[in-house]
Chains A and B, each alone.
Chain A
């Protein structure tokens, strides 16, 4: 591992200033991804700025409803928070479906959103990867690409975003509060991550040095009836091969509102706006849910080994929505 300096900043502004001035510095939060990537030689920062002691660890209920989650709130604490469990079950479920107890106790809200792809070619410094080393090629494009993208990939990169939390937050229309060298700003979760395009090494729309300080959840009473359905290769402690976050609001049997987002299909959490359009205003049925998923996936381009992700994503869409439609409304 490359030697590095260590700095514990006194405040958010100082942290951002240090990052902006040091081209090879990185923020350290829970470390569950970064420390591993440093051991692998994939990330080689020469300075770590430890943000875990900044006062960003509160979960606050907002006056008009909604929730403000500090960036260093641990995944386990957030999943156990009584308001999250009652009002945003999709969020609690996504967190609990991720990683293991020990990792959730370290991993933070902000760090989770900025974690790197688990594409095995990205993690292997002996393989070509445009994300790790721009211009070096993509060994995954024609390699073992079962776990990789079916939507919105480019010839330079077919990686997927690994977060479960981000998929739930995309469905909930969360807003990410960031502090950049120019000052604070709000970024909708749906606009935080980029498509790979010509620059897969650029994963977010944030400025160099930006620090996520909080995530805001809007007041969304319909989210009391929400679910996260994740399919993986074993029963626990594995990344998704497919996942869906769903919020369903029915008026009788008519879909008054619906929010859908997919994981494990693209370079970013995939908000399924087209599927939502198909569903909204129509009487709910499993057949309608299937048609909605098909509409969303119409532009999918499966790779050699991952065509199964299309019927899988369709099936979990139908199952998640049907179970929500049939379930008794949350108290």
Chain B
């Protein structure tokens, strides 16, 4: 792993905080070392291992979750900041025994190979489709003053924050396109 010292420990209670936030519609209360990212809180304290740790530096997108409805990289958010806020992970996109339309489209289009990036792709796509519904433009939108049409080029640009090392991109684009069309 790249980076700075990871081994520093703290026994100073000023370095920990109590925090309460919703995860997949259930209130969770935790006492956390302030250094704990949302990703680590989900995976190591709450047993929600859907969000994946890829790069841990905000570059790969495999840790993407929805925070108050917006897609974010959970490796770059300290959990201590989240008091009163609401998080949805891949485990919360549909009930335990069902698939959301987006998840079903990923299966139908074979939009993954190893699957490691898939939870992040799904949460990112969910957030991205909501952004399109709100009329948000992207870097490839020609006319900023009218709502963008969701072409394949738009999908690719808007999903640029999610890498897939198996390069399942064509199938990911197809699955998202089908979900958007069906909406």
A101-B15 CB under 8 A given contacts A1-B5, A6-B80, A236-B160: no
Contact A5 B15 (CB under 8 A): yes
Q: B77 contacts which of A2, A31, A96 (Cβ < 8 Å)?
A: A31
Question: Which residues of chain A (48-62) have a CB below 8 Å from chain B?
Answer: 48, 50, 52
Chain A residues with Cβ below 8 Å from B158 are 101
Contact call B58/A86, Cβ cutoff below 8 A: no
> How many residues on A have C-beta within 8 angstroms of the other chain's C-beta atoms?
43
0/1 per residue, B72-114, Cβ < 8 Å to A?
1101111011000000000000000000000000000000000
Q: Pick the residue among A4, A100, A103, A105 that contacts B35 (CB under 8 A).
A: A4
The interface-forming segment of B22-30, B41-49, B137-145, B173-181 is: B137-145
Q: Does B73 lie within 8 Å of A5, measured CB to CB? A: no
Q: Name the contact of B131 in the complex, choosing from A28, A97, A101 (C-beta under 8 A).
A: A101
Residue of B76, B134, B156, B159 near A80 (CB, 8 A) is B134
Q: What residues make up the interface of A, taking CB atoms closer than 8 Å to B?
A: 1-6, 28, 31-32, 35-36, 38-42, 44, 48, 50, 52, 76, 79-80, 82, 85-86, 89, 92-93, 96-97, 99-103, 105-106, 125, 235-237, 331
A and B contact pairs by CB, cutoff 8 A, 23 listed = A1-B6, A3-B10, A5-B15, A6-B34, A6-B80, A6-B81, A35-B37, A36-B58, A44-B4, A48-B34, A48-B78, A76-B131, A79-B137, A96-B137, A97-B139, A99-B161, A101-B71, A101-B127, A102-B58, A102-B64, A102-B73, A105-B67, A106-B77
User: Which 8 pairs show the lowest CB-CB distances between chains A and B?
Assistant: A41-B4, A100-B161, A3-B10, A236-B160, A3-B15, A85-B144, A237-B160, A105-B70
4 other A-B residue contacts (CB within 8 Å) besides A80-B134, A93-B139: A5-B34, A101-B161, A103-B161, A105-B71
